[in-house]
Amino acid sequence: MNIILFGPPGAGKGTQADNLVKDFNLYKISTGDLLRKEIKNNTLLGKKIKSVIDKGLLVSDDIINDLMEKALSDKKINNRLIFDGYPRNINQAKQLDLLIKKYNQKISCVLCLNVDKDTIIKRILGRQTCFNCGLIFNEYFKPATSKNHSCDAKFLNKRSDDNEKTVLHRFETYLEKTLPILNFYKELNLLHQINGMGKIHEIYKEIQGIKASLET
């Protein structure tokens, strides 16, 4: 079973992907992880990627698609993939469709976690990480207290790019780029819209239900 996960930044895609990986022995594929792996391993492609990034440019669709083909050609994880953050545009979606067919696989379902703009802003702007213990908190939804955090408050910090202007830009860019992709998968009868506003376990239960229905 191959699954594609969509959702705006802060929707909880990573959390739900990790749950599926743990419970069903799947493999999560994200473009960021693949790019970092190639750079770390100092491959020819990794050197090309590093050169592009060092120049402040965006990595091309061709490079991203090459990374995805490499993952899809690995027989050890055949039909056991979760795509997190890919495809990012309609061209990547069409290329993925070709690659899936080339390696005799299929996309089982496309899950879209829908979360409104105000909630996304609170989830991201309220996010705090403890640099001492690594725990993650949120000022709005899960504040650090003496009961759930034993480290000094001075260790709590936020990412430098977690500001409202940046978050809004990322959210609007997601909507602009993703709508054509969702329509593409809707036409293929693969799209499942999920309310991402609920609790993590409630959302995961719905995802499990969709997965189970596809296996019967």
Q: Which amino acid is at 152?
A: D
Q: pLDDT by residue for the chain (216 residues), tens digit each?
A: 999 999 998 899 989 999 999 999 999 998 888 999 999 999 998 999 999 888 878 889 999 999 999 889 998 898 999 998 899 899 999 999 999 999 999 999 999 999 999 999 999 999 899 999 999 999 998 999 999 999 999 999 987 777 888 889 889 988 898 889 999 999 999 999 999 999 999 999 999 999 999 987
In a domain, 143, yes or no: no
Q: Over the range 125-149, which residues count as b (16 or more CB within 10 Å of their CB) and which as e? A: bbbbebeeeebebeeeeeebeeeeb
* Distance separating alpha carbons of residues 70 and 102, to the nearest angstrom: 12
Is 193 within a domain? yes
Check if the beta carbon of residue 82 is closer than 8 Å to that of residue 26: yes
Per the domain annotation, does 126 fall within a domain?
Answer: no
**The pLDDT value given to residue 42:** 93
| Domain presence at residue 81 | yes
pTM of the model: 0.84
Total domains in the fold of the chain: 1
Cα distance between residue 23 and residue 100, in whole Å = 24
- For residue 61, the domain's CATH number is 3.40.50.300
Q: Return the structure tokens found at 139.
A: 């000022």
Q: What is d(CA 20, CA 15) in angstroms, rounded to the nearest whole number?
A: 9
| Residue 134 structure tokens | 């690594």
The reported pLDDT for the residue numbered 102 is: 95
84 part of a folded domain? yes
Q: Is residue 65 part of a domain?
A: yes
**Residue 154 maps to a domain:** no
Helix, strand, coil percentages, rounded to 5, for the chain: 50, 15, 30
User: In the sheet where 156-157 sits, what is the strand order?
Assistant: 136-138, 127-130, 156-157
| CA-based max dimension of the chain | 54
Angle at 96 between CA 93 and CA 100, to 5 degrees: 140
Domain enclosing residue 191, as ranges? 2-115+179-215
Question: Would 160 be classed as within a structural domain?
Answer: no
